[in-house]
Amino acid sequence: MSLRYALLALLRVGPLSGYDLQKQFQVSVGHLWHAPDSQIYPELRKMENDGLVVGEDQTRGERGTRRVYHLTDEGEQDYVRWMESPLSYARVREPANLKAAYLEAASPDAARAFLHEHIRHWSGEVEQWEAELARIDARANPMLMRRLESIDQRDHDRTVAFKRFGYEGLVDRARSEIDWAERGLALIDELYGPENGTAGHA
Amino acid sequence: MSLRYALLALLRVGPLSGYDLQKQFQVSVGHLWHAPDSQIYPELRKMENDGLVVGEDQTRGERGTRRVYHLTDEGEQDYVRWMESPLSYARVREPANLKAAYLEAASPDAARAFLHEHIRHWSGEVEQWEAELARIDARANPMLMRRLESIDQRDHDRTVAFKRFGYEGLVDRARSEIDWAERGLALIDELYGPENGTAGHA
DNA sequence: ATATGCATGTAATCCGTTACATGATTTT
DNA sequence: AAAATCATGTAACGGATTACATGCATAT
């Protein structure tokens, strides 16, 4: 339901082909809202039907074609309307916490493996997002730079600051997941005694 | 995909009718994994087809019936298998962070309203979860008490500790969302100047 | 010539949401 | 007699996942 607004956020920077959009998506806004290309192409067609974008067919070489999408006024308005209106929050559905709440049903080894994997998973996410924060600070994000070129100098700070802010929230969340899992490992040691020597963990 | 394991977690305590299960679900494991009753009844039927539970039809009054579900050995095994095996993590899809990252497209008022609402939302969740933590500590959670009756005394501490642990993670996450949103409000004041007097916020 | 990357999708399935639908039983 | 709550679903739709499918263009 947010996919369309993630795509509009990119197209507000300038026209992009489906392919380029999809590629840029993966390395930018896809960090905030994941979508595979098999979902992006059909969504662009739907957005065209809804008048939010127009697709322009271009030739490529002899017989190749590609479709470049342009934001329409209606698309811009729809985007701003989304930005101005309240978010609807999804109900909680957290498999990791569900599992954690009944961890007495797992062996101590499996419980430890689960928490180590949780830490590994969220550490990987932190790495991704901090790399993105570094690119923002270094002005090394191509879509952000194109966006900055197209807007008033005085709005640069805000654009950069909010982008930072969005990613910082994800980093905070991931760190909180890691802290929690580490407390869980300590809890397991308390409840079952410390991990015994030979059997290494994942 | 976790719904079935949330239901199995409850049925491990003892047999329950679809209705009772659904009611217990909302006030216990539904805090970790939400599902409406319209999803629970069909899922129970599917689980019966898969041999994880058996349904026993009981009469109620003259013509009324209700269906009581019992966990099977296969159901117990399937549950433990899930608990022992690694979780598959969903890709990130965070509408609030997506919106935050492009907040320069909203008016300062809308941006503030968004963050106030974010705080309100997560504060409500914290309240729910802390109430549940209080019920766990006070041994006032009926499903938990029934579970404790059915297991060995020595496992009580673990069962209670892990349940606490699961909910603590949710509280941590919610607090991190609130902190983040508060930093966002400060950021908006910095970028646009402090909120001006008369116009109250949501 | 071959591999990499450009380019665009379809199909099947599953999970979840929302609204709708129905009727019995117990409590006031 | 009416209201609350017990009791169990169906139907339509939408979004996401996974696997599959196809072919052109360009650089090596």
How wide is the angle at C-alpha B105 spanned by C-alphas B99 and B110, nearest 5°? 75
Domain-embedded: residue A198? no
Report yes or no: B179 at the A interface, CB cutoff 8 Å.
yes
- The pLDDT value given to residue B1: 76
Helix axes A37-49, A3-11, angle to 10 degrees: 80
B60 touches strand C (CB under 7 A): yes
Residue B181 sits in the same domain as residue B99: yes
- Domain count of chain A? 2
- The pLDDT value given to residue B202: 46
Q: pLDDT of A13-72, one tens digit each?
A: 999 999 999 999 999 999 999 999 999 999 999 999 999 999 999 998 888 899 999 999
Residue A34 sits in the same domain as residue A116: no
Cβ burial B141-156 (10 Å sphere, 16+ → b, else e): bebbeebbeeeeeeeb
CA B193 – C1' C3 distance (Å)?
Answer: 56
Nearest to B37, CA basis, from B22, B55, B18: B22
Structure-token pair, residue B31: 């805090």
Among A84, A104, A121, the domain-final residue is A84
Residue A79 sits in the same domain as residue A137: no
| Tokens 């490529």 sit on residue | A60
How many other CB atoms are there within 10 angstroms of residue A32's CB atom?
Answer: 27
Residue of chain B whose alpha carbon sits nearest to that of A184: B165
Return the CATH number at A52: 1.10.10.10
Provide, as residue numbers in chain B, all residues whose Cβ is less than 8 Å from the Cβ of A2. 93, 95, 98
How wide is the angle at C-alpha A169 spanned by C-alphas B106 and A37, nearest 5°? 75
Sheet containing A64-71: which strands, arranged edge to edge?
Answer: A16-17, A64-71, A53-60
Report yes or no: A184 at the B interface, CB cutoff 8 Å.
yes
Residue B78 sits in the same domain as residue B139: no
Q: pLDDT of A86-118, one tens digit each?
A: 999 999 999 999 999 999 999 999 999 999 999
Tens place of pLDDT for every residue, chain B, 202 residues? 799 999 999 999 999 999 999 999 999 999 999 999 999 999 999 999 999 999 999 998 888 899 999 999 999 999 999 999 999 999 999 999 999 999 999 999 999 999 999 999 999 999 999 999 999 999 998 899 999 999 998 899 999 999 999 999 999 999 999 999 999 999 999 999 998 756 555 4
Residues with Cβ within 8 Å of residue A56, at least 6 apart in sequence: A15, A67, A68, A69, A70
A23 touches strand C (CB under 7 A): yes
Which of the four pLDDT bands, split at 50, 70 and 90, describes residue A202? very low
Task: Residue count of chain B, please give it.
Answer: 202
Structure-token pair, residue A136: 């923002």
Domain-embedded: residue B72? yes
Q: Smallest CA–C1' separation from B63: which nucleotide?
A: C24
